[in-house]
Amino acid sequence: MAVTINIDTGGTFTDGVFLRDGEARGVKTFSTPHDLTVGMLECVEAGAESLGLSVEQMLAETTVFRFSSTIVTNAIIERRGPRVGLLVSEGARPELIDAGYVSPDLVLGVREPLEAAAVAGAIETLLDRGARVIAVSLEGSWQDASAERAVRNIVRSLYPTYYVGSVRVFLASDVSALPGVPARTNTIVLNALVHDYLARSVYPAEEKLRRRGMRCPLLLVDGHAGLARSAKTLAIHTHNSGPAAGVSGAATLADTLRAASGLVVTLDIGGTSSDVSVADSRSLAVAWSRDLEGLRVHVPSVAVDALPYGGGTIASASGSELRLGLQSAGAHPGPACFDRGGEQATITDANLVLGFLDPGGFHGGRLALRPELSRQVLEDLARELRVEATELARRMRRTMEKGIAAGIARVLRRRGEAPEGATLVAYGGGGPLHAASVAGLVGIGHVVVPALSSVFSALGVSKLDVQHLYPVSLDGESPARSLDQALDAAARDVRAEGFPVEAALAKLEAVNQETGEAFWRREGIRLPEAGRALHAVLDEAVSAAKPSGNALLVLTTVVPSGRTGEEGHRAPPAAASGEGVTPRERAVDWGGGPVPTAIHAASSVACGQQIAGPALVVSDDQTIAVPPGWSLERRERRLPSGDEGMSKLRVAEYLNIDLDTERWECVNCGHDLGPGEENYKKGCLVAARDPREIHGSDFAPDPKWCRIVEFYCPGCATLVEVEYLPPGHPITHDTRLDLASLKRRFAAGRGSGQ
């Protein structure tokens, strides 16, 4: 049986989702800050145990291993890495000097055109002053990289790679094809800083896994929600990979949620931070220019706002004012109640004292919490603030939720979106515990907590594909040449990932560099045919992009997950019935004093059962808080897999109708294509093509009278339907179902065992 392993390492916990025979197992272990890959390997061991296998058996069956981490994120925050020597054009003063990422004496300018002797002298000076790696960022190199490449050749001639003292050289032209010298310089210096640190973490971990039987490559998650082998990954591109995977998973879920606006707000509360993003049901916006630790960089990434609030967030006093968000207790020592040496009050301590957490049920009972230690540290801080300890705990929880709500409101304002009609998808260990209160403060009335929500980012990792992105120049007469270069690089990269070129799909988009929002797109093209197909529409793409002034053409290649051995999975089943299960009860302080609160085991909550607040719904690794005035209902939504389930009928080769939800969906990925009583084609991406592209000039219908209209699934780019229409003719509605009759017949057949 095939196993897929999907691991997301955060600041406090390392989460894993292990898939075997269509079943998903979620596990959670503590992260190991001294070496995050140690926590990853411990997560592998826990995953094998959850599947009832030895590590060696599981790894021998593993066909895909995906890994996202905070290795690069932490290295940048901590300035962890070798001393970087920076070579720039004469007269430039990079902002990284003021930010402390590079020492002023390790920045030298060179005059262009380059003289080999001057370059060699500058390199020797940087090395003599203590530089261990060299970054090169010259003006104009985004258009012509020859000068930067010449510098690299000079360094290699002086310090060949076969010498012990060889010098690694990083070029801005290798990591950014966009204009803007400051951002290009920032990007290459940060990449040079973290490259070796990531390599020294990942390669030994992969070697340890191979010694224990793993045969597949270790695939790293990038911040743009794609996968690549470590040998094809830029270190800086892995920044924020875990949060990006979570947002990607929520976007996949967006159609199923059917929010009135189609808008999904994601909230991932972990032990160290809260990550907030917005994803609509049609696309995942990947920005190419953003701020990273206060520096503008060219790093393609899903837009995620990190807020300094998590379960381990430490509370402190500033005079008579409560302060939150400056520090986190992390996994070690962790909150005081972990009894690992923590001596400061955290959000977890506050939630425990208020009654939201069960001292004996935390982390599936594997970690007993000590309420008396939480109360002790809260009382210590309360004396400084001259309040009672329980009131301090209330204020801490309230302050955190107001801070997160303000962060969500900022994200919505930036996008010009309103909260009404949106859906908040809450995950991470703390997301479900605070989501309803946060949503109420923002003005969102609908919250969804997915199955396996405590490890949802790892679940998002499990749905990612091998993916590479290539910017295409819009300057002068270069777009056609730039597109050819991008296509050549894409073909090389697909082969280097271990796949035939025929396995990849290509997409060309015109996007806003800052927000990642696409305003022109052509996708679902097999890579071998992409050259002809995309050159045919290139003028249209350039015309769409140029007026915006901040646009970028991006070629994306994807190897769909089916090609990497992924079989899909089923979410844990709901209880057959909630009747006869009496919930426990305990006092929980919701902000105005202790209130008797029903405590439901998640495993006992039946599909369709409604629970009125105040209530807590608990499982091994999460607690869902249902405040007074809110209600919770469990709904069953199987995640995409090869088993279509009992409520789904195959209507066409790539088209299902879900009789439970009365919605169209893609067979391959489960993407929602709209209400069953409407035309499913309205939920597809549409491409109108000249028939001569398909049939050739000799046999094609006259394009003045006929166009080929293709309908693609937005979730996986599957070609769902093709029709031949006169230009301007409305899309045909050729599949109409009598849903009521189908449901009656289906129910009768299910009742008789058919």
d(CA 354, CA 348) in angstroms, rounded, equals 10
Burial 258-268 (b: 16+ CB within 10 A, else e): ebeebbbbbbb
User: Token digits for 574?
Assistant: 């709901």
Q: Which pLDDT belongs to residue 576?
A: 44
Contact 643, 615 (CB under 8 A): no
Give 576's contacts (C-beta < 8 A, 6+ positions apart): 606
DSSP, res 753: T
d(CA 210, CA 120) in angstroms, rounded, equals 41
Give 127's contacts (C-beta < 8 A, 6+ positions apart): 85, 167
Q: How far is CA 485 from CA 4, 106, 478, 492, 674, in A?
A: 34, 34, 10, 11, 38
Nearest residue to 680 via CA among 660, 658, 655, 659: 655
Q: Which pLDDT belongs to residue 257?
A: 57
Q: How far is CA 344 from CA 160, 338, 429, 618, 727, in A?
A: 52, 12, 20, 26, 69
Low-confidence stretches of the chain (pLDDT beneath 50): 259-260, 562-568, 574-580, 638-646, 749-754
From the centroid of its chain, how far is CA 446? 22
Q: Which pLDDT belongs to residue 697?
A: 74
**pTM to 2 decimal places:** 0.78
Q: Which pLDDT belongs to residue 259?
A: 46
Q: Which pLDDT belongs to residue 640?
A: 43
User: Token digits for 285?
Assistant: 């916006």
Q: How far is CA 98 from CA 187, 485, 620, in A?
A: 15, 37, 47
- Burial (0-12, 13-18, 19+ Cβ within 10 Å), 589: buried
Q: Which pLDDT belongs to residue 747?
A: 60
CB atoms within 10 A of CB 130: 12
